[in-house]
Amino acid sequence: MTSVPNPRPLLSGNKMLSFLLVFLIFISCDATQRAKKTTYPNRPIPEKGQHPKPKKDDTATTPSPKQDTIVKPPVQTLPDGTLPNNRAVKVALILPFLTQQFNESATNINPKSDIAIQFYAGLKLAMEEASYDQVPMDISVIDSKASYSETLNLQSNPDVINADIIVGPYRKKNAGLMAEYAVKQGKIMFSPFSEIQPTALAGKGRVIQTFAGLETYMKAIVKHLIQTGDIANTIIIKRKNGQDNRAVNLLQKAFQQTGGIKSIPTIQELEVDQSDLGFDKLDLKEILAVKPNTVFIIPVWKSPKYVTSIVRKIFVSRDPEESPTIVGMPQWVGFKNMDYQKLNDLHSIIPTADVIAQDASTKAFAKKYYQAYHTLPGKNAYKGYDFGRYLVAFVKANRNGAFTLPDATNLFNNYHFKDTYNQVTDDLNNQPVLYQNDFVRMLRMENYQLR
């Protein structure tokens, strides 16, 4: 189960001190302390260019960066989408660390940097637990700077060119750009944070999307409501400005793909005017009088004020004998000033592939993370730890040559992949280019906990 709300920030205590404690992992990597077959990570995050430039007063003790004139050994030529079995697997981890914005005097951390730092810190713990003799990996940590132009430039970065596996970047546009490059070059790419469009991919590489996208969530909601028998009582609440149209269309599409119900051609929709957050003109009492167990789907992952207001309207519209339910979005758990009292009393359902259930294993990880970095983990630390454990299993499974994509059922949030093709008919004669994680939990809020 997961307790909510969670008022603790992702990094507790002195935030900048916590940042420095984690940031030191990038500059304190002693090769003598690592297994011979592995350099993890093999260099600190560069501030500019390919290599960090030493300060003037440190030139006496800081080794000079490698020069471009040094001839690098040729990389083993492999069939597209396969991994080597006679050397370390080269991994390029591309995340928005935003090292160019680092300021020792700052009192807080850029949220994008925080995401990257926590994900890498969790991944690092998972890698340290792995057996390097069995799974040798050479991981290059690269700063995307949250920039499209920088991501484009990284395609000429030797660490990216020579990588067997690319992980990241974070932003959807940047991840899509790197996915196109990876597939074209016959590489394997993991996308932990962004949804990738298969129609843009052309080549013999493969993209593995561990991130659960919007369509995945909408399918999970519809499947759950059909299984529970609540689909006949369901109403989708959407805003008049059209912001919810994509989510609503995906809900209706998912309903049609399941075969639906003969008495319900489509899920009922209710359009509301969000310009009046009091919703004085919106009458829900009549709806609840006809269907006291109405399930209201609110497919909104931003706009906390709107979400809070429409939840309040549903809450005050019900009579004691009526038991409406709300289906929300996973981002609601992180909203500030969210009225968890009303969400709890309405027995709200939250679909999630990221919310961490608190149990013995998560508490053990939190203790380990705190011992390593002197701060408590946020959800991206768990996500990085999950991904690190899966990356080890994936490399183990693929070092024999034939591509295989095992599901994962022993993670905090599991992975279950489905094949996706450029075109509907591609699966008749082509290999899939995109594998999407469709594992989503449907958690209900009871006693202020998601169960």
pLDDT digits (tens, 9 = 90+) for 277-286: 999 999 999 9
Residue 214 has pLDDT above 50, yes or no: yes
pLDDT, residue 163, reads: 97
**Poorest-pLDDT segment among 62-71, 106-115, 323-332, 376-385:** 62-71
Q: Among the residues of 262-359, which ranges form H helices? A: 285-290, 304-317, 340-345
**Poorest-pLDDT segment among 3-7, 307-311, 312-316:** 3-7
Percent of the chain residues topping a pLDDT of 70: 78
Residue 123 has pLDDT above 70, yes or no: yes
Residue 55 has pLDDT above 50, yes or no: no
Q: Among the residues of 84-170, which ranges form H helices? A: 111-129, 148-153, 158-161
pLDDT, residue 337, reads: 84
- Tokens, residue 200: 């843009």
Residue 448, φ and ψ in degrees, nearest 5: 65, 25
pLDDT, residue 108, reads: 76
Average pLDDT over residues 347-360: 85
**Poorest-pLDDT segment among 22-36, 66-80, 131-145, 307-321:** 22-36
* pLDDT category of residue 423 using cuts at 50, 70 and 90: low
pLDDT, residue 421, reads: 78
For residue 20, count other CB atoms closer than 10 A to its CB: 12
Average pLDDT over residues 92-97: 96
Residue 250 has pLDDT above 80, yes or no: yes
Same fold, 2-212+362-442 and 215-352: yes
pLDDT, residue 132, reads: 55
Mean pLDDT, the chain, integer: 82
Average pLDDT over residues 57-63: 42
CATH superfamily entry for domain 2-212+362-442: Response regulator (3.40.50.2300)
Domain 215-352 has CATH 1.10.10.10: no
* pLDDT category of residue 67 using cuts at 50, 70 and 90: very low
Query: Which DSSP state fits 71?
Result: P
Residue 371 has pLDDT above 60, yes or no: yes
Helices 111-129 and 15-23: crossing angle, nearest 10°? 40
Residue 141, φ and ψ in degrees, nearest 5: -95, 120
* pLDDT category of residue 5 using cuts at 50, 70 and 90: very low
Residue 86 has pLDDT above 90, yes or no: no
What is the torsion angle, in degrees rounded to the nearest 10, for the CA atoms of residue 206, residue 378, residue 300 and residue 344?
130
Residue 390 has pLDDT above 70, yes or no: yes
Average pLDDT over residues 280-293: 94
The C-alpha atoms of residue 125 and residue 32 are separated, in whole angstroms, by 18
Average pLDDT over residues 305-333: 94
Per the model's pLDDT, the better-predicted residue between 404 and 310 turns out to be 310
pLDDT, residue 372, reads: 93
Q: How far apart are the first and last CA of the chain?
A: 4
- Element of type H or E holding 177: helix 172-184
* pLDDT category of residue 328 using cuts at 50, 70 and 90: very high
Pick from 13-17, 59-63, 310-314, 447-451 the range whose average pLDDT is largest: 310-314
Per the model's pLDDT, the better-predicted residue between 158 and 13 turns out to be 158
pLDDT, residue 54, reads: 39
Closest CA relative to residue 179, chosen from 165, 265, 331: 165
pLDDT digits (tens, 9 = 90+) for 133-187: 567 899 999 999 999 999 999 999 999 999 999 999 999 999 999 999 999 999 9
Percent of the chain residues topping a pLDDT of 90: 58
For the chain, the structural domain boundaries read: 2-212+362-442, 215-352
* pLDDT category of residue 354 using cuts at 50, 70 and 90: confident
**Amino acid, res. 339:** D
Pick from 107-111, 334-338, 410-414 the range whose average pLDDT is largest: 410-414
Average pLDDT over residues 311-332: 94
Helices 15-23 and 360-373: crossing angle, nearest 10°? 80
